[in-house]
Amino acid sequence: MLYYIIRRILLAVPTVLGVCIVTFLLFNVFASPEAVARKQLGKNPTEAQVKVWITAHGMDKPMFFNLKAEKDGRLHPLDSRFWNQMKELLLFQFPESDYLHEKVGDLIKEKIGPSLTITVPAFLLSIIVTLPLALFVAYYRGTYLDKMAMFVCVILMSIVILVYIIVGQYLLAVVFKYFPIYGYEYGLGAWKFVLLPIILAVASGLGGGLRFYRTVMLNEVRSDYVRTAMAKGVSEGGILFKHVLKNAMIPILTTTVLSIPFLITGSLLLEMYFGIPGMGNLLLNAINNSDFPIIRTLTYVYSLLYIAGSILTDISYTLVDPRVILE
């Protein structure tokens, strides 16, 4: 198993390098250093200020290879924008944010906690709510109840998440005052601030999730082994809870485990709207401030998370499906 993980990680290296190259191209080739400097320096900076900023951020160095000798006559061919940025990312020596003047690494450490207080409970609550509902609907498949439930799901799916959040906050926090509108408290007091975001997160995903789980289960219900089980005299409940559920877990697990690493990234919208100082908020502010170091670093980090997620998913396959052997 360990051998497999190591192999997968090694195989992922070319992909990670590819990601770094793509992000580098995006941020350095398509945007000129002057434009970025001006954005960061606010109103009408002087030429000198722009130059100082550019040098300080290493944007005056050549793109890929530095073939100009330094003052002391030595050559540092890898002292270029590309290699400097690669070094930062690959060695996890994350740069400093243009706007916030803190190291991105420290920022990440600060912001992960609040994000997790929303995403983890939302994730668990989603599963706890959707799975039994899906089993229930699968039991009554084909009936009017089933059709109504699916129609309701499509309707729920057709409502933009924005509306869930705006209307949810307005009605429940502003009008009915069940929840605080905005803000965050570190430590145990956080729960009252995250309760509404969690509820809205689960509600907005309910339609799509229920439909997906139901589809997976009905797929299994149509298979031959269910017919055999019925011929043996297994009850409807036994078929769903024993035979179908275990088989349905295989595709359900793929999608669920894949999203686990992303619990760290936090929900952009929820954090923005409810003032939660998490990773999503970090990214959002970086966008508004054109804070490239943060966006660059986060892009890299999130890609690593995706790769980690897909390795985790493959491993979880072996735990649930006896037919799968790790090669």
Contact criterion met (CB below 8 Å) for 8 and 314: yes
| 318 is a contact residue toward another protein (CB under 8 A) | no
Going residue by residue from 252 to 271, which x/- string records binding to another protein, judged by CB under 8 A?
----------x--x--xx--
Listed residue (296, 302, 303, 291) closest to 24, CA to CA = 296
Judge whether 70 and 76 are in contact, CB under 8 Å: yes
Helices (H) and strands (E) in the chain, counts: 14, 0
CB 150, CB 214: distance < 8 Å? yes
Nearer to another protein, 83 or 302 (CB): 302
Q: Considering beta carbons, is residue 198 or 295 the nearer one to another protein?
A: 295
- Please identify which residue in 91, 101, 233, 327 interacts with another protein, judged by CB under 8 A: 233
Rule CB under 8 A: say whether 272 interacts with another protein.
yes
Regarding 228 and contact with another protein (CB under 8 A), the answer is: yes
- The span from the CA of 220 to the CA of 245, in Å, is 9
CB of 198 to another protein, least distance (A): 19
**Of the residues 100, 125, 129, 230, which one makes contact with another protein according to CB under 8 A:** 230
Distance CA 149, CA 134 (A): 10
CB of 120 to another protein, least distance (A): 18
* Binding mask of the shown chain, residues 128 to 167, with x at each position contacting another protein by CB under 8 A: --------------x--------x--xx-xxxxxxx--xx
Residue that has been written with the tokens 């005299």 in this structure: 233
Q: How many residues can be counted in the chain?
A: 327
Binders of another protein among residues 29 to 48 (CB under 8 A) are 30-31
**The two three-digit tokens of residue 1, written as one number:** 């198993």
SS3 96: strand
Q: How many residues bind another protein (CB under 8 A)?
A: 64
- List beta partners, residue 96: 103
- Residue found by looking up tokens 């198993």 in the block: 1
Number of C-beta neighbours around residue 80 at 10 A: 18
Selected binder of another protein within 65, 92, 170, 178 (CB under 8 A): 170
Task: Annotate each residue in 188-227 with x if it binds another protein (CB under 8 A) or - if it does not, as one string.
Answer: -----------------------------------xxx-x
Member of 295, 311, 313, 316 binding another protein (CB under 8 A): 295
Q: In whole angstroms, how close is the CB of 189 to another protein at the nearest point? A: 25
In the bound state with another protein, the residue whose beta carbon lies nearer, of 114 and 207, is: 207
* One of 1, 72, 323, 327 touching another protein (CB under 8 A): 323
Q: Least distance in Å: CB of 153 to another protein?
A: 10
Which one, of 225, 227, 172, lies nearest residue 203 by Cα?
Answer: 172
DSSP string, 128-155: HHHHHHHHHHHHTTTSHHHHHHHHHHHH
103 three-class SS: strand
The phi and psi torsions of 73 (rounded to 5 degrees) equal: 85, -5
CB closer to another protein out of 93 and 228: 228
22 contributes a contact to another protein by CB under 8 A: yes
Which residue in the block uniquely carries the two structure tokens 């995250």? 194
Q: How far apart are the C-alpha atoms of 287 and 208, rounded to whole Å?
A: 29
Interface residue list for another protein (CB under 8 A): 14-16, 18-19, 22-23, 26-27, 30-31, 142, 151, 154-155, 157-163, 166-167, 170, 174, 223-225, 227-235, 243, 246-247, 250, 262, 265, 268-269, 272, 283-284, 287-288, 290, 292, 295, 298-299, 302-303, 306-307, 320-323
